[in-house]
Amino acid sequence: MIKLHGNDFLCLSLFSILICNSFLAQDKQAEWLREIEQFIENVQPEADGEESMLFEQVAFLLETPLDVNREPLDPLLEAGLLSAAEKQAIEVHLLRHGDLLSLYELQAIEILDLETIRRILPLITIQRDLDDYNVPLSGMLMEGKNEIQFQWRRFIELQKGSIVPPDSSSSPFTGRPGRVLFRYRHTYENRFSFGLTAEKDPGEPFFKGKNKTGFDFYSFHIFLQGYRKWAKEIAIGDYRVSLGQGLIHTSGFGTGKGSLVTQIKKNAPGIRPSRSSNESDFLRGAAATFRLKNHLEIGLFASVRNRDASIRTDTSTAARGSIEITNSFTSLNGSGLHRTTTELKNKNTVRHTFTGARIQYANPVLRLNLNAVQHRFDAELRRGNRLYQRFRPHGKIFSNFSIDYSMHMRFFTFFGETALDGRGHIALVSGLQFSPHRNVQAAMLYRRYPKEFHAPVSDPFSETGQSANESGYYLGIEMRPAVSWKISAYMDVWQHPWLRYQADAPSSGSEQLIRIEYQKKRRWSVYAHFRREMKQRNDPSPEARTNVLSWQRKIQVRGHIAYRVTPSLEMRNRLEFSAYRLGNNPVRKGMLMFHDVIFKPMGSPLSGTMRFALFDTDGYDARIYAYENDVIYQFSVPPYSDRGIRYYVNLRYRGIRDLTLELRYARLELLNRATVGSGLNEIAANHRTEIKLQVIYRW
């Protein structure tokens, strides 16, 4: 039985208040939210669960489509609905032939197939009146749309940190076990947005202790896009900036290697408002992009915010006998958790100042950027003293510069970035996407990141997710040999010229994937893929005095089928096997099978998804990742490990106008363990049950 505290009753009561102010509506988003779900699973199969602005973006475009003739198509790139080559092909067509008179003209663009056109049609338009772009700011405030989101979540079973010891009046966690999220947003088309996000994580105090003002985290933003010809973007408050191919700075949703084998080019969206509850991956201050001439623009960014870190204070005696005090930290803590006294002590202990600029020349064929960023901390960053950390820099100020480019020539798209850090080390990434035939697409990429290169906030294409100590080659190809068939494959080969974590010597590795998919008139689809990874890492031996490198081998084999029983009912089944082996150690195996049900009855306000999964793995090394449906704007890709069952039910009700009610119930049961989790998150039972409630009200 769930034991609810006072704050939990307060959260749940807000649901009743919102229900009383709403009326009848229908779900317009389910089909396209599934498109984004598929995209996320394909490009980032091992991601952590988090709110994704991709869901918000597509849901918003369904209500206010992009004007192809006048608005940039970058949101479609970010959501994986268009490739960079397809976007540039549309821009070149507009440059040569003028504005589209009908969306059917998209069929004249050779690189666009019918499936791509069908996918983007509900999100684009050419019906916009030119006078709509002269609306004053007061009109955007009065005529826009509003949305309130409220969410409450908790585990029914108490975690170790929430249990009060018999001989103590307090527990390690200083707050209640529930998570509370509140979000408000006002928007006018794709041009104006302001909003507030507030969140309390499980275990954090709520309206007490160090959070007497309520939530542990607050985020606010104001964002203008295309307000004036000379002002392309203006952001105040919390925002995100991504530059080039991620060598010197990136934030927001990132993609990696996946079954979309040719979508390896990072599409830096420039300035975007931050509406996520992620407490580390954003900037706080102001940013703007100004148009200088027809094809020239400049972007300026500034941010000052406090970050979490464990501060160490050292004292030393100077030459004249004075005492010097130095504050230092080894790394920034990005978890955003402030549950225990230690976590609260480390909250907002380092002031992080970020400044940057970007000068861009862009036309439909060529895009060239000059980027510069600087990070300044009020305490000294001192990396560890282990041998693999030898080339990581120390200091308070870190600067980076880069040149990135993207050039489209008929069926070819060239892209890349070359970066320089404050100590003169150069890193580069260069790639090519080409489509010699409408049914064939290919991509190649080369990267070289020296062991000495350093950029504090970077996420380029790489095996390790870092911009240092790696070089490699990537090749991906996608073919459609027949109308219903698609074959995808990639190969990636890399080297680490210096030591890294769990590899006490220079190492190398490779990865291959092949996927065969068959789809029948959108009624059903089936695919199978094989993935193999080999890389070197430490193989501890009791007899050896030092670690030696051995080959770590991972194999993944998956079969998946999805079919529509009726227009309102879809079934999905998956069977997946994994195998892991390090050196000559025994092979560790894993198996996952699940059955999904997605239902959306015609004319009914109730819809939902369900899953029942069985899994059996020989420990965490043989884990298998699988995408899970969640409430709107959220997703999770958890690892299935050990032996057990997992099932969940997501229900969505839209029978009241402007209101969406959602319930998620998920349960994990382990058959070979007596506890779930570890540390303060440990539950003293072999099961864990999650309940989540969400309300979204739009008007």
576: confidence class by pLDDT, cuts 50, 70, 90: very high
Say what the pLDDT of residue 684 is.
93
| 454 and 537 assigned to the same domain | no
The CATH number of the domain holding residue 369 is 2.40.160
385: confidence class by pLDDT, cuts 50, 70, 90: confident
| 392 and 464 assigned to the same domain | yes
- Whether residue 398 lies inside any domain: the answer is yes
Facing residues of 578 across strands?
A: 556, 590
Structural domains of the chain, count: 3
- Whether residue 603 lies inside any domain: the answer is no
What is the arithmetic mean of pLDDT over 166-186? 85
What is the arithmetic mean of pLDDT over 561-587? 93
- Residues 585-631: pLDDT tens digits? 999 999 999 999 999 888 889 999 999 999 999 999 999 999 888 88
Say what the pLDDT of residue 280 is.
85
Query: pTM for the complete prediction?
Result: 0.86
| 419 and 491 assigned to the same domain | no
- Whether residue 53 lies inside any domain: the answer is no
190: confidence class by pLDDT, cuts 50, 70, 90: confident
Q: Which two tokens stand for residue 222?
A: 């104001």
| 374 and 463 assigned to the same domain | yes
**Burial, 226: exposed, middle or buried (Cβ in 10 Å; 0-12, 13-18, 19+)?**
middle
Say what the pLDDT of residue 53 is.
60
Question: Is residue 168 a contact partner of residue 139, using CB atoms and an 8 Å limit?
Answer: no
Measured distance CA(528)–CA(573) in Å, rounded: 12
Measured distance CA(674)–CA(204) in Å, rounded: 27
Cα 299 from chain centre: 24
| 432 and 537 assigned to the same domain | no
List the one residue out of 557, 555, 566 whose CA is nearest residue 527.
557
- Whether residue 410 lies inside any domain: the answer is yes
Say what the pLDDT of residue 167 is.
67
| 433 and 551 assigned to the same domain | no
Q: Which two tokens stand for residue 20?
A: 């009383």
- Whether residue 334 lies inside any domain: the answer is no
Pick the residue with more confidence: 41 or 179? 179
- Residues 459-511: pLDDT tens digits? 899 998 889 999 999 999 999 998 889 999 999 999 999 999 889 999 999 99
- Residues 283-297: pLDDT tens digits? 999 999 999 888 899
What is the arithmetic mean of pLDDT over 39-52? 53
Q: At CA 638, angle to CA 637 and CA 643, rounded to 5?
A: 140
| 398 and 413 assigned to the same domain | yes
Q: Which of 513, 529, 556 is the last residue of a domain?
A: 556
- Residues 530-569: pLDDT tens digits? 999 999 999 887 666 677 899 999 999 999 999 989 888 9
262: confidence class by pLDDT, cuts 50, 70, 90: confident
Say what the pLDDT of residue 19 is.
36
- Whether residue 524 lies inside any domain: the answer is yes
Q: What is the DSSP string of 157-182?
A: SPPGGGSPPTT-S--SS-S-S-EEEE
Q: Which of 92, 108, 134 is the last residue of a domain?
A: 134
Q: Which of 556, 579, 611 is the last residue of a domain?
A: 556
- Whether residue 567 lies inside any domain: the answer is no
Measured distance CA(58)–CA(369) in Å, rounded: 27
| 272 and 409 assigned to the same domain | yes
- Residues 362-380: pLDDT tens digits? 887 889 999 999 999 999 9
What is the arithmetic mean of pLDDT over 254-262? 76
| 128 and 226 assigned to the same domain | no
- Residues 86-139: pLDDT tens digits? 777 887 788 778 888 888 788 888 777 777 787 788 788 886 555 555 678 888
Say what the pLDDT of residue 41 is.
66
- Whether residue 361 lies inside any domain: the answer is yes
Question: Is residue 60 a contact partner of residue 79, using CB atoms and an 8 Å limit?
Answer: no
Share of the chain above pLDDT 70, in %: 86
215: confidence class by pLDDT, cuts 50, 70, 90: very high
Pick the residue with more confidence: 52 or 559? 559
- Residues 391-446: pLDDT tens digits? 888 899 999 999 999 998 878 889 999 999 999 999 999 999 988 887 898 999 99
Q: What is the DSSP string of 437-473?
A: ETTEEEEEEEEEE-TT---SB---S-SSS-SSSEEEE
Listed range (121-135, 254-268, 640-654) with the worst mean pLDDT:
121-135
Say what the pLDDT of residue 359 is.
95
237: confidence class by pLDDT, cuts 50, 70, 90: very high
Residue 23 pLDDT > 80? no
| 443 and 538 assigned to the same domain | no
Say what the pLDDT of residue 266 is.
84
Q: At CA 610, angle to CA 605 and CA 616, rounded to 5?
A: 170
Say what the pLDDT of residue 39 is.
64
Listed range (20-34, 122-136, 271-285, 350-364) with the worst mean pLDDT:
20-34
Say what the pLDDT of residue 512 is.
96
Domain range for residue 398? 220-307+351-479
| 234 and 296 assigned to the same domain | yes
What is the arithmetic mean of pLDDT over 244-251? 89
Average pLDDT in the chain: 85
| 296 and 369 assigned to the same domain | yes
